[in-house]
Chain A
Amino acid sequence: PAMAARLLLRAARPLLAGAGRGTGLGTALSTAPPPEKKRWLRAYLELQRLQAPPQRRSEQPNWDYHAEIQAFRHRVQENFSLDLLKTAFVNSCYIESEEARRRQLGLDKDAVALQLQDNTALAERGLRFARAYLAQCFEGAYPELPAKGIEALVNFLTSQELVSYVAQNLSIQDLTLCRDFPAPPDVLQRTFLAVIGALLESSGPERTGIFVRDFFIPQLIGKDLFEIWEVVNPMGLLVEELTKRNISAPEPRITRQLGVSTVLPVYFVGLYCDKKILAEGPGETLLAAEEEAARVALRKLYGYTENRRPWDYSKPKQGLAAEKAISSN
């Protein structure tokens, strides 16, 4: 009876495994290969798995493009039209590579041409809107800042590194269709701007403005003005600004000094206008301290100090809507 039971069991197990395999083939093949029993083979296969080149997320198991795009829409809490969003993720390099692949496989001319549209038009619109909106934001928030400063800030915020960093953290690198993997930063920048363009077409300039504000302006937190804006001659710029406001030229005086005869001296140079203090800045040599004092004075004049009021995210700006509609068209 024990022998009979064992034989029965041995007969039953392959049946169950067969049934399991039958039902398993119906579902998506999402399983890894079955774990090997030979210890030496396990080590070799693990090494192969670790040395395999990284693959796109869309080529790994468990991927549903439509569901991912819907999740992206909800994650960003914006209503898009899904067609515009899908076109926003299509890059021209992807279309070229797909057509080349189809031509290589020997299909007809009709089958070769894909029905997909590029995202270049959407990207351009998104870029123009983002630049215009950010420039207006800064003009409203820092009215004293000159045009070159605003341009430098906007260029920094729409630069490749920043936009591709934001895009990576919003999982756009999984959703883009592009030829190379991992997607290069200019492709990510173009895709993100195309997403902004798609949002502009779907929801209008107000919502898009709020979107741009929510994702780009926090990248300025903790950054100093002159890290972003390269100013070669701060003293000259300061003199210009003061003449515009009819204040006399600044007079630099040494306020404090420490360790003059040592290797690491510290000089504090103060800039005085009409014997009233304007700004004070430290430096290693007298020239460096004077330049730093000029920079501190410029920061105070433009209202971009460290202790300024933080950005106001509460109310959406109503007046921008009409101007945006005019400027983007």
Chain B
Amino acid sequence: RYVRQLQRLQLLFSPTAADARGARQFVEEAAQDFARQHPDVVLYVSPRSGPGPAPVLRAEYLNGTVREELIASKTSEEIVQLATKLANQSGLDIIRIRKPFHTDNPSVQGQWHPLTNKPSILTIQGPRLQPQ
């Protein structure tokens, strides 16, 4: 069954800073809807007062990765899109994938090895006798 890999989202923003306006609007309007649509993600809203660092959305996944995304000067809809994007990701590192293909069944009839189509010692080769 499908298990959403996102464990919790922490929204850290300042209640007075200018670049956290989108975050504040998100908390007022869209955070409850988001939490209702994703009941398996715990959403923590923690305003931090004073001139602190930029507002950030921290996502923690089931395999332990913690990903922080800046939400400074983003509108409420953009933050919703970002949150849904994080909710649909898994916690694997975002690095370059070496090959764009992968298969769990590399060979259907058996992988070729140098002896595949060679007749074995036990075959009797003669003018009339067929090899096994």
Measured CB to CB, the residues of A under 8 A from B are: 16-17, 20-21, 23-24, 27-28, 30-31, 34-35, 61-62, 64, 67-68, 70-72, 74-77, 169-171, 174, 214, 221-222, 253-258, 266, 268, 270, 307
Say whether B122 contacts A21, CB under 8 Å.
no
Say whether A74 contacts B47, CB under 8 Å.
no
**B10 contacts across to A, CB distance below 8 A:** 62
Say whether B44 contacts A24, CB under 8 Å.
no
The distance from the CB of A212 to the nearest CB of chain B, in whole angstroms, is: 12
Q: Which of B4, B16, B41, B120 contacts A255 (CB 8 A)?
A: B120
Say whether B7 contacts A20, CB under 8 Å.
no
Stretch in B19-27, B49-57, B72-80, B92-100 with 4+ CB within 8 Å of A: B49-57
**A256 contacts across to B, CB distance below 8 A:** 115, 118, 120-121
Measured CB to CB, the residues of B under 8 A from A are: 1-4, 7-8, 10, 12, 15-16, 39-42, 44, 46-50, 52-53, 62-63, 104, 108, 114-115, 118, 120-122
Say whether A62 contacts B46, CB under 8 Å.
yes
Q: Which of A21, A68, A77, A266 contacts B42 (CB 8 A)?
A: A68
A137 to B114, CA, bound (A): 39
**Which secondary structure dominates chain B's binding surface?**
loop
Which of A62, A68, A72, A257 is most buried by chain B, counting CB atoms within 10 A of its CB?
A: A62
A64 to B9, CA, bound (A): 12
Nearest residue (CB) in A for B58 is A62
Say whether A31 contacts B49, CB under 8 Å.
yes
> What total count of A-B pairs have CB within 8 Å?
85
**B118 contacts across to A, CB distance below 8 A:** 256
**A17 contacts across to B, CB distance below 8 A:** 50
Beyond contacts A20-B16, A24-B50, A258-B114: 9 other A-B pairs, Cβ-Cβ < 8 A, are A20-B15, A20-B50, A74-B39, A74-B40, A76-B3, A171-B7, A214-B1, A256-B115, A270-B122
Say whether B3 contacts A21, CB under 8 Å.
no
Query: A67 with B49: in contact, given A30-B12, A256-B120, A268-B120 (CB under 8 Å)?
Result: no
Say whether B42 contacts A67, CB under 8 Å.
yes
Q: Which of B12, B16, B41, B42 contacts A16 (CB 8 A)?
A: B16
Say whether A34 contacts B39, CB under 8 Å.
no
Say whether A254 contacts B39, CB under 8 Å.
no
Say whether A64 contacts B62, CB under 8 Å.
no
Nearest residue (CB) in A for B110 is A307
Say whether A258 contacts B50, CB under 8 Å.
no
